[in-house]
Structure 1
Amino acid sequence: MNPEAALRPAEDTSTPRRPRMVRTAVVVGTALEHYDFFLYGTAAALVFNTQYFASDNPLVASLAAFATFAVGFAARPLGAVIFGHLGDTLGRRATLIFTLVLIGVSTGLIGVIPNQDVIGIMAPIALVTLRFLQGISFGGEWAGAVTLASEHAPKGKEGLYASLPQLGSPIGNIISSGAFLALGTLPPDAFQAWGWRIPFLAAFPLLGVALWVRTLVDESPAFKNATQANLIQKVPAWQVVRRAPGRMFTAAAVAFVSIGGFFLVTTFAISYGTGTVGLSSSTMLTATLSAAALQIVTVLVTGSVADRIDPIKLATWGCAVTAVLAFPAILALSSGSPVLAIVAIIVIVQPIAVAYAVTGVILPELFHTSIRYSGVALGFNIAGFVGGFVPMIATSLLIVSGSKSWPISVLLLVIALISLAGVRIANRLIPPMGRRRTGSAAEAAQAE
């Protein structure tokens, strides 16, 4: 068998049920993963700084809470290596079931950890440990979902399928933010004592639903063909580092605005808006909820358009508009006006969402099928490792600058420009849309 031909996606012989199940499985699974991951970010801004990292200085407490938030991102490259290896050797489907179970259990257990007043130093240690396990799981989830979706995609619908895992981010954000917004109606003492734990405990039943859906999905045709052609690598992560380091770092740069930029204008913005600007938590949660709701539409439209317009052009537009809006959006958020703050968050999230939607199209194209899961996972999670520290970096800039807003704008501008540079490099590494997914240029280049 011709190795190159073997790596091409199989002809679409699926029944109508299988494509629906693939679409449902990647959306439901990534939505649960993002719900679990975002819960921690919201809780870090609203609860953990007082429950687990108490300090006389609110900014210092927030800095400590965001440091543990970053731990989840620091663990993601390790998860990329572990689950990338499993995904490229044992299969995409089985690996994605494992990632789902790990993050669901670790998130649910966060809801039962006593606070610092009860068990002292063991409280933050337990919290950090579970956050680390969340990060390991997340390190393999998104890459696997994108790889599975793109390899199952019928011809002409690659952009739409590869964008579907990105719906998990706004859906998870809506559910997690909505849960905290609803629980915000509780008396403050009740919310701090037990109310905040409810969304974490809800991870257990949600895991059951997501797991059931994901078990109904078939293995990807491309992985089956690679297995039959005996093209499976023994250590795929090492092959990525040895054979395609430039592509790996290009993937990281492309994804950076989708992670670092997003958490700057959502997770950090909640803390900044409530702690520094003086806006209410309900205002900031309403802003992130509204932005996430519109983000769903943006991702779906962008994914559909990406099957007709080169995804590189869409990613370029998303990064460039984010850069242009960096100063106006942060200034509006800093104004103290609830209306301006909500509008600013809604507007700035959308160009980031455009770039994020096509990240799932661009990254798989950078890597050969036999190392694709590992390559996408490593690239995306290198960006995640750095991006996870963005809220902490932004908080540090606030402390150093005396709570000035302009350093935050500069930070967002730099993030957008890094991704823009990555997109332009990717433009030279992968073929134009008209030749995508044919198994010729992209696969041959990576087979060298």
Structure 2
Amino acid sequence: MTETAGTASTSRIHPEEARKVAFAAFVGTALEWYDYFLYGTAASIVFDRLYFATEDPAVATLAAFASFAVGFVARPFGAVLFGHLGDRIGRRRCLLVTVTLISVVTGLIGLLPDFAAIGLAAPLLLTSLRLLQGIAVGGEWGGAITLAVEHAPPEQRGRFAALPQIGSPIGTLLSSGGFYLVAMMPDDSFDAWGWRLPFLAAFPLLGVALYLRRRVGESPLFEQMLAEHDRASVPAVELFRTAWRQVLIGVAASLIGIGGFYLLTTFVISYGVGQLDLPKSLMLGATLLAAAGQVLTLTFGGRLADRFSPGKVCLWGGVLSAVVAFPVFWLIDTRNPALVIAAVVLGINCLSIPYAVSGSLLAGLFPVHLRYSGVAISSNFSGLLSGFVPLAASALLIASDEQSWSTATLLVFLALITALGGYYAHHHTRTA
């Protein structure tokens, strides 16, 4: 697809239509991430005790985080599947399927009996449901970003692509907020049924997402591609044959926004509660405040992308995230509630700068006929690696005799890889 064709096509979209599409992508993505993030929070404070019960709490935590990682292993398969369909039959149809699948699966987790009720079947079924969650999310984000970008005016793609990104902190606010409320229940009630309520809420929320997504049209660039008979027969194969460098760049550029986020949420909640004996309400509250700040950070980052380029903003954001990594853990280790909250807010909002531009950055790496596949596969291979970050951080903490410098070093490593990805992305961005 040439630059002229892409510009001409997007110029026919009224700005109000572009905003409607971006808003629908945002709401759907927020509900998808709500469903997906619930599992991470529950893995930190519920699943280790109720589904992976062992005599050693550290081993139970590792088992819960391993099941958490299974969802990330599945995400590339979802990316290939829905990327293929999205580049062949349309972006909109795939997004209706992904939001339905993940919401139903999340609701079923809320109905699943625990280890005490059905024994070994409980962790096996829980892990299977997490696998289906991963497949759905593997196709969701790439499609939402692609649809938003392809409806947006070329000079405003950064801000429109940032809107679905805001779905991440909103999903965090909803999931952490739900757990924050039920965590105030007596422990017996929380373990018996209270933790299930946020999962069961996925059923009614599905209706909201479907209503909004059915009201938006297909991507104009995709429709033009169909008219020109420019579809790839097997998009994933052509992607790795012709654009494998861009895939690697996309994986690197996405790493801190995904892996760093799970380090500073899923792992840090477990670290604060398990190693530092901090109240789980404090750790969940810190993530809530950080997520609220993310809304502003992501909005600002999207506008920076339009002004300077997504690659440059990703580079600067990666460097900043590396700089604050050790101070963040030093502050958490003080056990001072105010400093713990400040550390989580600071760390998450710094890594949100490269995350803000990852949508427009990835979309700019790939041509229209491979874009859904390219965006989905790049981000989800990064997600595959990121899913093991809490597990790796827990293992490093054990190996370093519970010294947080080991996990801070991991955060620096992730941040510098993203900075490198941003540098190379700046030289490979397309305008069509």
What interval of TM-score do these two structures reach, taking the shorter chain for normalisation?
over 0.9
Counterpart in 1 of 2:83? 84
1:6 Cα offset (Å): 4.5
* 2:275 alignment counterpart: 276
User: Once the two structures are superposed, what CA deviation does each residue of 1:98-156 show, in whole Å capped at 9, x if it has no partner?
Assistant: 11111011101000000001111110111011100000000011111111000000242
CA distance in 1, matches of 2:342, 2:266: 16
State the alpha-carbon separation in 1 of the partners of residues 2 and 292 from structure 2.
44
TM-score, normalised on structure 1?
0.94
Alignment of 1:45 with 2:35, yes or no, is no
After TM superposition, list the pairs within 5 Å mapping 1:63-82 onto structure 2: 63-82=62-81
| Paired residue secondary structure (2:155) | coil
C-alpha deviation, 1:164, in angstroms: 0.9
Structure 2: how far apart are the matches of 1:313 and 1:351? 15
Query: Are the counterparts in 2 of residues 36 and 107 from structure 1 also a CA contact under 8 Å?
Result: yes
Q: Distance in 2 between matches of 1:253 and 1:76?
A: 16
Q: How does 1:114-153 map to 2 (within 5 A)?
A: 114-153=113-152
Matched to 1:42, the amino acid is T
- Mapped partners of 2:11, 2:378: distance in 1: 29
The alignment partner of 2:9 has SS state of: coil
1:300 corresponds to 2:289: no
The CA deviation at 1:7 is 5.0
- AA aligned to 2:112 is I
The alpha-carbon deviation at position 4 of structure 1 amounts to 6.9
User: Is the 2:162–2:302 contact (alpha carbons within 8 Å) kept by the matching residues of 1?
Assistant: yes
Shift of 1:18: 2.1
Residues 290 and 344, structure 2, Cα contact 8 Å, conserved in 1: yes
Please state how far the C-alpha of 1:23 moved relative to its aligned partner. 2.0
Matched, 1:407 2:393: no
What CA RMSD, in Å, does the superposition of the two structures yield over aligned residues? 1.3
Change in 2 beyond 3 A, CA 1:157/1:61:
same
The residue aligned with 2:185 is 186
The one-letter code matched in structure 1 to 2:57 is P
For 2:132 and 2:417, how far apart are their aligned partners in 1?
29
Alpha-carbon distance change, 187 to 427 in structure 1, aligned in 2, over 3 angstroms: same
Give the structure 1 partner of residue 375 of structure 2: 376
Secondary structure of the corresponding residue to residue 53 of structure 2: coil
What secondary structure sits across from 2:13 in the alignment? coil
SS in 2 for 1:308: helix
Mapped to 1, the partners of 2:10 and 2:158 lie a distance apart of 17
Deviations 1:280-329 (A, max 9, x none): 10110110000000001110111123222222221111100100011110
The CA distance in 2 between the partners of 1:103 and 1:247, in whole Å, is 28
1:342-421 matched pairs, under 5 angstroms: 342-421=341-420
Q: Give the residue type in structure 2 aligned to 1:194.
A: W
- Runs of 4+ aligned structure 1 residues displaced above 6 Å come to none
The separation in 2 between residues aligned to 1:349 and 1:229, in whole angstroms, is 43
Give the distance between the partners of 1:255 and 1:187, measured in 2 at CA: 39
Alignment check: 8 A CA contact 2:18 2:148 kept:
no
Q: Name the aligned partner's letter for residue 124 of structure 1.
A: P
Cα–Cα, structure 1 residues 396 and 11, in superposed 2: closer, same or farther, change >3 Å? closer
CA distance in 2, matches of 1:418, 1:333: 24
Once the two structures are overlaid, the 10-residue window that deviates more, 132-141 or 153-162, is 153-162
The alpha carbon displacement at 1:234 in A equals 1.0
Cα displacement (A) at 1:9: 5.6
Aligned partner of 2:274: which letter?
G
Partner of 1:326: 325
Aligned to 2:248: 249
For residues 74-113 of structure 1, the aligned pairs below 5 Å read 74-113=73-112
The residue identity in structure 2 corresponding to 1:333 is: I
Deviation for aligned residue 1:378: 0.8
In structure 1, give the amino acid aligned to 2:172: N
Offset of residue 17 of structure 1: 4.5
- Contact 2:13 / 2:151 at 8 angstroms: preserved in 1? no
CA distance in 2, matches of 1:66, 1:81: 25
Q: Which whole-Å CA distance do the structure 1 matches of 2:315 and 2:425 have between them?
A: 11
Output the amino acid matched with 2:25. Answer: V
Q: Following TM superposition, by how much is the alpha carbon of 1:3 offset from its aligned partner in structure 2, in angstroms?
A: 6.8
SS in 2 for 1:123: helix
> 1 CA distance for matches of 2:419 and 2:368?
26
**Contact 1:9-1:221 at 8 Å conserved across structures:** no
Q: Structure 1 residues 4 and 338 mapped into 2: Cα distance closer, same or farther (>3 Å)? A: closer
Q: Distance in 1 between matches of 2:226 and 2:12?
A: 19
Q: Is the 8 A contact 1:53 1:64 kept in 2?
A: yes
SS at match of 1:142: helix
Report SS of the residue matched to 1:304: helix
Shift of 1:40: 0.2
* Counterpart-to-counterpart distance in 1, 2:10 and 2:288: 40
Kindly provide the amino acid, as one letter, of the partner of residue 157 in structure 2.
E
Change (3 A) 1:279 1:158: same
Structure 2 CA distance, aligned partners of 1:313 and 1:8?
23
C-alpha offsets along residues 323-381 of structure 1, whole Å, 9 cap, x if unaligned? 00111101111221111111000001112111000011110111111001001111101
Q: Distance in 1 between matches of 2:10 and 2:324?
A: 43
Larger displacement relative to structure 2 (17-26 or 294-303): 17-26
Match for residue 36 of structure 1?
35
User: Aligned partners of 1:281, 1:410: CA distance in 2, in Å?
Assistant: 25
